Structure 1
């Protein structure tokens, strides 16, 4: 069985507003093979998203020079629940996921020192979607305002789903994913998504046809070496927590998670299991496939 990829990169992003290393900061794990094809891994920690983006570009450029195919996983949402783009009245000429990426990239200001306006963008999204403090919620007290509350509102517009299909599938498996609507608090992913999506968009734009994002750009299906061969980078959404990482002596949790996630993806590829992980569940309806491919995306491995 031919492997799909030569290297596996997992980025644990951060929405931090100050420079920070160590716990709850930006970590990148890389699993690759040495000249004897033995798998080894390395981890990197940087203080800002700007440094993280630069480091990621550098890692990928090195692999590209060698003609490698690289799988890059990001630990935040690459899509929003079905109907979000329509509620924001975004341009119907693009797929909903592309319209969302364009909207986020146009609105988020993320400076080199990590200061950013993610709470203001969340409030703007609420104003445009419902004119209430819903569906996005959660902000430090000093960032709260009419369209964004500190705590989860008791109820919101009932027709906006709290979760995507992939989170609902994870919940059936007894996992506890957070909703992309939650902006603040332990494990919240809403802020990381707003500052992370523009970085992925820039990365893919810099690669042109050599970069793609799954499942939006590839289809939600089992991938073959022929699908991956024209690419130097395939970006996917991952959730490092599902790989049950145990830190080695001297490792911190975030570091262990990106290392183990990258190593696990490499081992799955070695066993011929990774290709199947790109496919939908057997009972996925055509409607669900269209929803995942066009707007919501999916977490690899769920």
Structure 2
């Protein structure tokens, strides 16, 4: 397959970040065969989704195929979707989040949704971390006592990628739990807006004009560091450099092979990180568990 347009989006699960470009916000890079645009800053998800919608419309109208990478997990550890949806269908879970998440620039209900989901499981439920002032029923502030729900802490790909966080931590440094919920909801709505035009990797064959792909820029941290400008915001550098890398893989003819390099047992539910080797031998020594120290003062970290 050949992609004419490469998009990479650094997502955020937090509130509106203001007009001045800054880190830990939403950044996006767009690279066409004949044009490279500077990274774009979006102060909130609503503006980012509006841009994605307009961009997808323009690329489809021009007959260009799109690789759209997003830096949040596309699935949960095995067993979660089946418990919530009654079947192991990650895209049905996306649709569930699109209905459950009420999302605005200044507030959304992601913490309440986490508590609601925890109530579906025995033990503590898998989600943890509440940084709001009010208590959220069912959502603990700390990880203490975590367990009893029957789910893994991380997906297979996260266990194989040093430094990758799992889906359950809803806030704090490096956490992706809020990104997952808001991201799945947003992509579900885009799939609804463009019926029959979007395929989701690795759950579906990439035989449609737009491919949504899970990426993790930290997998290319050395390349990002080497190519970053002295005053460039890290998130802007990450999307710019990763878009360049993906375009290079396309041009040298190896992109299809990398997209096909996915373990069979994660294709149905968990998903995979683009560029992470599927072969266990190639990943030898990388697998470890990343648990935050119990004495960390999570309540003081960013929400």
Tell me the TM-score normalised to structure 2 length.
Answer: 0.84
**Across the two proteins, how many residue pairs are aligned to each other?**
270
Q: Which of residues 125, 129, 136 in structure 1 aligns to 2:121?
A: 129
- How far residue 183 of structure 1 moved from its aligned partner, in angstroms, is 0.7
- 2:103 pairs with 1:105: no
CA contact (8 A) 1:19 1:114 kept: no
Stretches of structure 2 lacking an aligned partner (at least 5 in a row): 277-303
SS of equivalent residue, structure 1 residue 142 = coil
- 2:217 pairs with 1:235: no
- How far residue 146 of structure 1 moved from its aligned partner, in angstroms, is 4.3
CA contact (8 A) 1:134 1:153 kept: no
Deviations 1:101-139 (A, max 9, x none): 12211211002x241000000111101122x43311112
Mapped partners of 2:178, 2:40: distance in 1: 22
Aligned residue in 2 for 1:206: 193
Mapped partners of 1:191, 1:158: distance in 2: 20
SS of equivalent residue, structure 1 residue 31 = strand
Mapped partners of 2:90, 2:195: distance in 1: 18
Aligned residue in 2 for 1:223: none
Mapped partners of 1:165, 1:103: distance in 2: 23
Aligned residue in 2 for 1:78: 74
CA contact (8 A) 2:125 2:149 kept: no
Give 4+ residue runs of structure 1 displaced > 6 Å after superposition. Answer: none
- How far residue 55 of structure 1 moved from its aligned partner, in angstroms, is 0.7
> Map of 1:248-263 to 2, 5 A cutoff?
248-263=229-244
SS of equivalent residue, structure 1 residue 212 = strand
CA contact (8 A) 1:135 1:160 kept: yes
- 2:61 pairs with 1:45: no
